[in-house]
Amino acid sequence: MQDVLNGLRSGRTCYTTNLGAQVAGDSLELLRQLPANSVDLFMTSPPFPLLRKKAYGNEDQKDYVKWLTKFAKLAKVALKPEGSLVIDIGGAYQQGEPVRSLHQFRALLAFVDDLGYFLAEEFYWYNRSKLPSPIEWVNKRKWRAKDAVNTVWWLSKTERPKADVGQVRVPYSKSMQQLLKDPEGYYTPKARPSQHTIGKAFGVDNGGALPSNLLDIPNSQSNDAYLRILKELKLSGHPARFPLKLPAFFIEMLTDPGDLVVDFFSGSNTTGRVAENLDRCWLSFELDPGYAALSAVRFMEGQKPETVRLAVQQIENGTTLSLQEGSTQLSLDAS
């Protein structure tokens, strides 16, 4: 990771950790400077083309696919042959009408048809805590149901990217737990109406069930370390954060410890925090220097509020901090 970081000629490194670095700068320029075949996984969530403009700079619907394709094209060059690009894209309605935009599907077709990516698998992130929107069509007129699913495209450079779904097993259902306690007494092998036969091997405990491509992950955490620290400092964080479990799923499934994970729309740097937790190297790129500086709080849990405030201020003023974990005192010396 350090060699890749040293090769970046633009942007400003806000802080480094044991395994990664947050860089503030234009992601298009930074992606151009990544060495070819150097990244194991791009895990990101771009600004969505929402009708109401957000503080973090979401793009207009009509220009969205062309804009997003520029990033995906550069990412493909930097990916290792067995690497993956995972991109979370939420839906939206067209201006003034209860009709859905097709931007996320058009983006997928552009990635595959124009850039040469392969669609390894489509995932759907079910966020049961998502607020009903848009208000006009859901709350007021009651013409549409609540939009609670984001599309997550798992794209790859080759037909057979590195992956191990066994690393992301989920807890067994209650009925499966009963079966594992007494396979012969609970279940007799037989053919289903579909003519599929389930044999005795079905009763083997593999440590969990294989997951589906519907990811049921609520985004309702209101007191995680990031938000808790910002609340203590009376500061507002990035308004569009995905939950830790979403990048964790793909990082665990698609990479090994020591691999390099890059997020080129890092926002509050959820991806970097998860990568660090999972012993992966990481780089995060964020255009807004304020959000990039504020994301340092993800690596400062347990520090006094004034220490955190000072660190963020130093980063905002141009200092590159070393936020090394595992020590009792945080070093605020410039690196």
Active site residues: 45-46, 88
- Measured over all CA atoms, what is the biggest interatomic distance in the chain, rounded to whole angstroms? 69
- 179 token code pair: 């079966």
What whole-number distance in Å separates Cα of residue 86 and Cα of residue 120? 10
Please list the residues that pair with 121 across neighbouring strands.
154
Residue 322, classed as helix, strand or coil, is: strand
Residue written as token pair 């804009």: 67
Beta strands in the chain (DSSP E): 12-16, 20-24, 39-44, 79-89, 118-126, 149-156, 190-191, 197-198, 214-216, 260-263, 281-286, 321-322
Angle at 254 (CA atoms; ends 196, 203), nearest 5 degrees: 30
What whole-number distance in Å separates Cα of residue 124 and Cα of residue 216? 9
Residues sharing a CB contact under 8 Å with residue 132, sequence separation 6 or more, in sequence order: 138, 139, 146
